[in-house]
Amino acid sequence: MSSRDSLTVPALGYGAANVGNLFRALSDDESWAILEAAWDSGIRYFDTAPHYGLGLSERRLGAFLQTKPRDEYVLSTKVGRLLRPNPDHDGGLDTANDFHVPDDLQRVWDFSAAGIRRSLDESRERLGIESIDLLYLHDPERHDLDLALAEALPALEQLRSDRQVSAIGIGSMVSDALAASVRSADLDLVMVAGRYTLLEQPAAADVLPACRETGTGIVAASVFNSGLLASSEPRRDGRYEYGQLPDELWERLLRIARVCADHDVPLPAAAIQFPLQSDVVRSVVVGGSRPAQLRQNAEYAALTTPGALWAELAAEGLIAA
């Protein structure tokens, strides 16, 4: 069994997809300024992945964290996709995956024990940091969930047993995959992306109960629902699951915003703090592509919110009670 008290994850983390040029290109200096703002705001948990910018996020984050004392931060990355030369590269960009980087590499799924270990070693090399605290299997359902349960998760358990990492888990935006993984393997943490937010909580039906039964912690990511909760005045034309926002959710969003306004709590502050009201959520990871966003999110995380806010949202059926 895992020693789940061996790693304490700070309550607020930075998800470093943006410094991998997610949605728009950033210079090295711009990326450094974002990471500096996160650090100066007190953020001490940083999450990345080979997938983010075909390794660019890991390289930039690693270069930054190498300037900081290793015992002062928690670092997580992900496995499951190896980066290999793209034989079809003709000068194009990886915009099909929303990253503005050259597509001279391609992602190759590998859930074998050797592939998982190789992914960890290659991430260490890109980061320039040997000690990685937490290793997630990334989006296993997008490749082969059965294979993940049979091979990849046992490989992660072995890495932890060998003390190559302190903690293991999976990261996914699919509740079924998260719950199945929690019940089939001895995981420390799961990263729940967009499935336990102020706007909607499908993970409350299966993932949270599974985590309570097994003692597994949750790291909540994508808590702004693709930006819908990032402003106190929601916009109807916001993205939702990369498509149009359904009318039912739009009405729900307006009701939530009104309750937050009645309690003088900015909607984004409630979005960051909501997951942490759960007994099984350990941390909330937020993104950001500008230093001001990181500073603002840290302020939102520290804002005092009245218990009456959560009570009213629950009474209105807007959050899982």
> Phi and psi dihedrals of 141, rounded to 5?
-70, -20
Is residue 261 within 8 A of residue 198, CB to CB? The reply is: no
The structure tokens 């992914």 sit at 119
Tokens standing for residue 172: 């996914």
3-state SS class at 176? helix
52: annotated active-site residue = yes
Burial class from Cβ neighbours inside 10 Å (0-12, 13-18, 19+) for residue 289 reads: middle
Tokens standing for residue 211: 């985590």
Please report the DSSP string for 11-64 in residue order: SEEEETTGGGTBSS---HHHHHHHHHHHHHTT--EEE--TTTTTTHHHHHHHHH
Burial class from Cβ neighbours inside 10 Å (0-12, 13-18, 19+) for residue 202 reads: middle
- Which one is catalytic: 14, 45, 52, 240? 52
C-alpha 119/C-alpha 317 separation (Å) is 43
Please report the DSSP string for 78-116 in residue order: EESEEEEE-TT-SS-B-GGGTB-SB--EEEEE--SHHHH
Closest CA to 282 of 35, 16, 57, 76: 76
Residues identified as active-site: 52
